[in-house]
Amino acid sequence: MEKIVLGLFLIINIAFADNQTADLTPILVDEPLPFDISIELAGFTLPQGIQSAAAAQHKGKYLFIAGRINGLHGFDPGDNNFPPDEQNTTVFVIDPYAQTVATRSLYDPSSGLTQAQIDSLSVTACQFYQKGNTLYITGGYGVDTATGNFSTKDILSAINVSGLMHWATHPECACTASEYIRQISNPVFQVTGGHMSQFGKNPTLLMFGQNFDGFYTPSSTGDYTYQVRRFYILDNGTSLGVEVLNPAEADSSYRRRDLNVAPIVKIKNKEKLAAFVALSGVFTPSNGVWTVPVDIAANGYTHIADPSLATTFKQGMNNYICPHVELLSKSGNNYIILFGGITYEFFQNGEFLSDPELPFTNQVTIVKRNKRGAFTQYLSPNQYPIIASTGSNPGNTLLFGASGQFMPVPGVPTYTNGVINLAQIACPTIIGYIIGGIQSTLPNTFSPSDSAASPYVFKVILTPRRT
């Protein structure tokens, strides 16, 4: 028996699913933290759901592009498990303050885009980050309309965020979408299900992921990178290029994709240093989840603790890519909040249970990394609000988070890498919105009809408190 869930692909062979470690670090319940977190429905929804998209922001508005508009993919023997007509070919401009959503199709006659460009801009599970007014997107998995085949793209797209927003919201304008999009190709970009980011003068990091070629069928897998790829994007605003560097050293435990990679702030000799932590992800060679985090420096070099040591942290919950946000406390502790998604462990009737099928969950956990580098995971008393399904399995509680996106609001105090400065928040504050992702009507399902792409928008409220 297998379970397959979209994020890119989630495949579990129950008989042989072995996690990276047989044991997991206990998750703490009812432990004091220096804040509370809550999730509430916003006063509006998207005109259609979207998941696994790329996103950016400009002047308090959010740009969403690429991804998919369905939930679970199929898992038949044929060639239609990722239907091309369910790739997202719409540009979304979301204004959470006005509670409006403007959309425009990439197929609009004024887009000026070729079919190959549209294919590259409607992939699922691409990597992306924003630098100033530019959204950089690499890779992703999708169709080549000219041939009907599927592949991981080797494209880097540089999108002028404010320009594409203007095109999407002003159909009367004589501009085209293509004038705000520049692209180049290189094998270094051919990754899906990884994470991409860049800080300061350091190179762009393309962390983990895989190259999946051809139609997806059950039990198929891609070519994992096992590494952090490093390169400089050469961009003067007109021409676009890349300088490829040697990757960081590969490691067999970096066979990961569809994971949460979080920015953190390390404190060394009173100096604050930007870095990253890669949490969990899938899949081990025996189709389990990875449990030991990977520390990634801003220059791309990595460190992982010895999984065999009893003192090493092993993550049990929220193992799959989901909305997340990061905080730094005055005492130097980093907190990574993980909102729902797909999980190995879950809390039910006062105890933690595990499920190798990796069920969907509305539960929220917080991973703490103290200033000495030690990790702890906490269960939040709050989770997504209860919303009953009105479609398949009517009345069932919808389960959110998988392949969704947290979007911060402007004005919240942050460090230069986006980590929120908790010490500067004195009262309950909306810190951002959760947009899109998969909504499932069942924790475990084999049917694509049991899920959909979520049209819901949630606001996230942070309340500081003394501990």
The pLDDT tens digits for 450-459 are: 999 999 999 9
Taking residues 167-175, report their average pLDDT: 96
Q: Which of 74-88, 111-125, 204-218, 280-294 has the lowest mean pLDDT?
A: 74-88
What pLDDT score was predicted for residue 111?
98
What pLDDT score was predicted for residue 72?
78
What pLDDT score was predicted for residue 127?
98
What pLDDT score was predicted for residue 76?
66
pLDDT tens profile 388-434: 999 999 999 999 999 999 999 999 999 999 999 999 999 999 999 99
Secondary structure of the chain in HEC code, one letter for each residue = CEEEECCCCEEEEHHHCECCCCCCCCCECCCCCCEEEEEEEEEEECCCCCECCEEEEECCEEEEECCECCCCCCCCCCCCCCCHHHECCEEEEEECCCCEEEEEECCCCCCCCCHHHHHHCCCECCEEEEECCEEEEECCEEEECCCCEEEECCEEEEEEHHHHHHHHHCCCCCCCCHHHEEEEECHHHCCECCEEECCCCCCEEEECCEECCCCCCCCCCCEECCCEEEEEEEECCCCEEEEECCCCCCCHHHCCECCEEEEEEEEECCEEEEEEEEECCECCCCECECCCCEEEECCCCEEECCCCCCCCCCCCCCCCCCCEEEEECCCCCEEEEEEEEECCEEEECCEEEECCCCCEEEEEEEEEECCCCCEEEEECCCCCCCCECCCCCCCCECECCCCCEEEECCCCCECCCCCEEHHHCCCCEEEEEEECCEEECCCCCCCHHHEEECCEEEEEEEEECCC
What pLDDT score was predicted for residue 12?
40
Taking residues 59-72, report their average pLDDT: 96
Instruction: Provide the residue ranges of all domains of the chain, joining segments of one domain with +.
Output: 2-464
For residues 72 and 464, which has the higher predicted lDDT (pLDDT)? Answer: 464
pLDDT tens profile 157-169: 999 999 999 999 9
Instruction: Please state, for a pLDDT cut of 70, what percent of the chain lies above it.
Output: 95
For residue 126, is pLDDT > 80?
yes
Superfamily the domain 2-464 falls into: Kelch-type beta propeller (2.120.10.80)
For residue 368, is pLDDT > 90?
yes
> What mean pLDDT value characterizes the chain?
94
Q: pLDDT band at residue 1, thresholds of 50, 70 and 90?
A: very low
What pLDDT score was predicted for residue 467?
60
